A and B are shown apart, each in its own frame.
Chain A
């Protein structure tokens, strides 16, 4: 599933992602397009609590594409976001 939450005000990017995660079936991945930088911290966290791992890539200036995939490491939220800081550092942004 793909959702586009560009333009949304805080905290809707995170809330709409949480809603969408509930609708996923099986091992389906969720792709989130956002231009709200604070969501780069909140979405992976919310995803990790639900057993999803997030990878972030820059989509355009001030726009990012987050891909949330169900992980076998689901038991440990810490591991799901362990490399988040590195991902954000590589993109030159922080949550």
Chain B
């Protein structure tokens, strides 16, 4: 009797396992089928899809989270994620330099390389950065973080995404005020115009090195920190091909990647994406989703946006054509699906329902703050920070510095809403 039950249990388990394997095969198959369809329609869309998938896989496997980069400085005295991000930005800066050099050989002429994320500096970056920094801590993830967590099965992240779309809509409604009263009067500062590429890249790398040093000082100023690198064991060598291939697969989908590997991979992806089209960014496309829902479904048409189209970066867009005319759909969609497939392959997908209702409220409110901030600052932690600093614009630094007080405020608030 007992053995019978155990046998049944074992059979059930193996069914469960094969069910999971089947799901993985279906998921990978669907992603490849989508790739084939897109390749047949337009190879650019297929390439966008591949970039999106890679974006999602990198974020999910390394759990590169810009919110924790800023938040943990205050919450845990831990600046390790920020250090990894600074290293990633440094690598992207070198890559962007080479791309920009081929487009505009003499930056002193005042010409801007195409698509570079250099926008006017000003209060919109400060207000947007503080709002974004606050929102990402309240919602437990920035915009790209929310997207990969949707792929991992976090239900609260869906709600945060709803908030982001609402925030982007509110930003579109108030954009013309910001543009007329402030942004249109402010200068864009492309550092190579004054310093040359060498000077601007050198200064940027110096500042990033300063952040790395500061991050160590911050961690050690209250005493020695525990080190995580201790006792790491090497795997025994594989003795046959099958075992070796399993080991290699395990490197990618077994253990998570160190966060610095994720940041460096994202930097390389960013450079490739700039070579292909433009610097990475996700919120420009989300503003199109927000506008389609607001104007198409809810009949809440935002006014035509002054000056937004002339800005390079993740500018707000209203009044686009159909859903399918936007290439960015496949980048942003690819991010979510890529993260989901990576989570499935790593056995980390799980529908996670928050145990308390206030997490939904919190995620929604955080999302609105992020959406509004990304709207007026022309980008999120990807477009206005991770792509803007390598673009050698002053705007990236102003946005980054503004994220800090926002994140600090957010930490004060989340400590009160247990």
Chain A interfacial positions (CB closer than 8 Å to B): 4-12, 14-16, 19, 35-38, 41-42, 45-46, 48-49, 61-63, 77-78, 80-86, 88-89, 92-95
List chain A residues, Cβ under 8 A from B140.
Answer: 9-12
What is the CB-to-nearest-CB distance from A28 to chain B, in angstroms, rounded to a whole number?
20
Contact in complex: A37, B418 (CB < 8 Å): no
Minimal beta-carbon separation of B160 from chain A (angstroms):
9
CB closest residue in chain B, given A41: B228
Cα(A64)–Cα(B68), bound, Å: 21
B250-258, B268-276, B334-342: which lies at the interface: B250-258
Q: Verify B68–A11 contact, CB threshold 8 A.
A: yes
**Shortest distance between the CB of B122 and any CB in chain A (Å):** 32
* Neighbouring A residues of B231 by C-beta, 8 Å: 82-86
Q: Are A85 and B363 in contact (CB under 8 A)?
A: no
Verify B257–A49 contact, CB threshold 8 A. Answer: no
Provide 5 A-B residue pairs closer than 8 Å at the C-beta atoms, listed in order of the A residue.
A9-B362, A12-B414, A15-B418, A35-B352, A82-B231
Task: Check A85–B228 contact: CB distance below 8 A.
Answer: yes
Which A residues touch B250, using CB under 8 A? Answer: 92
**A80 CA to B354 CA, complexed, in Å:** 30
Cα of A88 to Cα of B255 in the assembled complex, Å: 8
Asked if A46 and B76 sit within 8 Å, CB to CB, the answer is yes
The B61-75 residues at the A interface (CB cut-off 8 A) are 63, 65, 67-68, 71-72, 75
Interface of B is mostly: loop
B345 to chain A, nearest CB (A): 12
Q: How far is the CA of A62 from the CA of B230 in the complex (A)?
A: 25
Number of A-B contacts (CB under 8 A): 111
Q: Are A85 and B65 in contact (CB under 8 A)?
A: no
Interface extent on B, as a size class? 35 or more
Q: Which residue of B lies closest to A36 (CB)?
A: B352
Nearest-CB distance from B196 to chain A (Å)? 41
- B350, CB-defined interface residue at 8 Å: yes
A30 to chain B: closest CB distance in Å?
A: 16
- Asked whether, in the complex, the Cβ of B352 is within 8 Å of the Cβ of A6, the reply is yes
Q: Which residues does chain A contribute within 8 Å of B65, judged by CB atoms?
A: 10, 38
Closest to B61 in A: A94
Q: Are A78 and B227 in contact (CB under 8 A)?
A: yes
Starting from the known contacts A9-B354, A77-B226, 6 additional A-B residue pairs (CB-CB under 8 Å) come to A10-B65, A12-B140, A14-B76, A45-B228, A81-B226, A88-B255
Bitwise, B219-236 to A at CB < 8 A (1) or not (0) is 000001111111111000
With both beta carbons as reference points, the residue of chain A lying nearest to B140 in the complex is identified as: A9
Distance of A12 Cα from B138 Cα, bound (Å): 11
Indicate whether B415 reaches chain A with its CB closer than 8 angstroms.
Answer: yes
**A61 and B233 within 8 A (CB):** no
Residue among A5, A38, A49, A62 making CB contact with B347, cutoff 8 Å? A62
Q: Is the CB of B354 within 8 A of A42?
A: no
Q: Is B48 an interface residue (CB 8 A)?
A: no
Of all chain B residues, the one with the shortest Cβ separation from A63 is: B350
Q: Is the CB of B350 within 8 A of A61?
A: yes
Q: Chain B residues near A10 (CB, 8 Å)?
A: 65, 67-68, 140-141
